[in-house]
Amino acid sequence: MIEAMDLVKRYGPHLAVDHVSFKIEKGEIVGFLGPNGAGKSTTMNILTGYLSSTQGTITLDGLDILEHPVEAKKNIGYLPENPPLYLDMTVKDYLSFAGEIKQVPKRDLKNRIRQVEETAGIADVSHRLIKNLSKGYKQRVGLAQALIGNPEILILDEPTAGLDPKQILEIRDLIIELGKDHTIILSSHILPEVSAVCERVLIINKGSIAADDTPANLAKRLLGGSHIMLRLDAAEDRIRATLGKLPSVRGLEFRGSQEEGTMDVVAEAEENADIRRDISRCLSNAGIPILLMRPLDMSLEDIFLQVTTEESERQKTKESEQENTTEEAEK
């Protein structure tokens, strides 16, 4: 459905996007993440055809966006961080205007406006001026604008920015519902929202793709194995002596006491190994009560921070090596 091949974008000497490639299949909801200045917005603008790349190609459903711009862009609905609203228009007039720009046939436009108003939950404000709407409703009007041309692809840049918790939940549920019929790229700094909505994440850092996988697979890769969080009613030396005998446990990390008389410990096993039964039997035989047992997962925030930090360190090392090579050549 969407394929980016070897994208490069330069602004003079500055390399904003550095040979980025990825593919997004039909029906996926993908989170597109990155620190400020990482090249995320530039890449999204290239995807929409708003910017051209210095090098590389974007194809949407087999159409090159530069060679077939009109046909390719018909497949895209775009919601920028600040929706392009005409505040002195009513909602209905604005959507009619957007529909004409998207070349929705006149005979279908009235029905299409009604459909997107219902989908976005703005039918009750159809005849109100946009400037008099709340931030949440304005965001919904922007989303309705993105839907008016019935695109297969939705690109949403910070769709919950500035919304209150109730509005965020409403937009999140709406995006999940839209994901049943659309391919969605979602950019957001609110990582729990991305985690709740997206099946896969692309993390860009310093212009390059630093990670591309499901949050669960990224967590497993970064943790380096299976980890079980335990809270046990025993002292550290007794726990170490008991669990240290288990061949399936390859390491123990003690994290101190959160409750009087208890100890929190993380037991590590080989990747994809389920050691809960071994641990339960071992502790039961030793008479050590288990107060808590759960898999230790990384949140998307943890993944994001670790991936971007590691990528930044690799970039620094690479730049340092290049500088040293240049200095040696000059000598």
CATH, residue 118: 3.40.50.300
The pLDDT of residue 29: 94
Which pLDDT band holds residue 14 (cuts at 50, 70, 90)?
A: very high
* Residues 95 and 235 placed together within one structural domain of the fold: no
In the predicted model, is pLDDT for residue 321 greater than 80? no
Residues 269 and 176 in one domain: no
3-state class of 36 per DSSP?
coil
122 lies in some domain: yes
What CATH code is carried by the domain that includes residue 251?
A: 3.30.70.3100
pTM: 0.76
Domain membership flag for residue 319: no
The answer as to whether 158 is a domain residue is yes
pLDDT tens per residue, range 30-83:
999 988 888 888 999 899 988 999 999 999 988 999 899 888 888 999 998 888
Maximum average pLDDT range among 165-179, 187-201, 208-222, 250-264: 250-264
**What mean pLDDT is reported for the chain?**
88
Q: Encode pLDDT of 196-208 as tens digits.
A: 889 899 999 989 9
Question: 232: pLDDT confidence band, cut at 50, 70 and 90?
Answer: very high
CA dist list (Å): 34 to 9, 56, 86, 133, 323: 16, 21, 30, 31, 26
Range of the domain at 107: 2-219
- Residue-wise pLDDT for 253-310, tens only, equals 999 988 999 999 999 888 778 889 999 999 999 999 999 998 877 777 878 888 888 7
Q: Are residues 199 and 268 in the same domain?
A: no
Q: For position 249, what pLDDT does the model report?
A: 92
Are 36 and 98 members of one domain?
yes
Domain-terminating residue out of 182, 198, 219: 219
The answer to whether residue 50 sits within a structural domain is yes
Residue 304 belongs to some domain of the structure:
no
Structural domain contains residue 328: no
Q: How many domains does the chain have?
A: 2
- Tokens representing residue 266 in the block: 């993380």
In this prediction, residue 293 carries a pLDDT of 93
Q: Fill in the amino acid letter for 178.
A: L
The packing angle between helices 165-178 and 135-147, to 10°, is 10
Residue 129 lies in a domain: yes
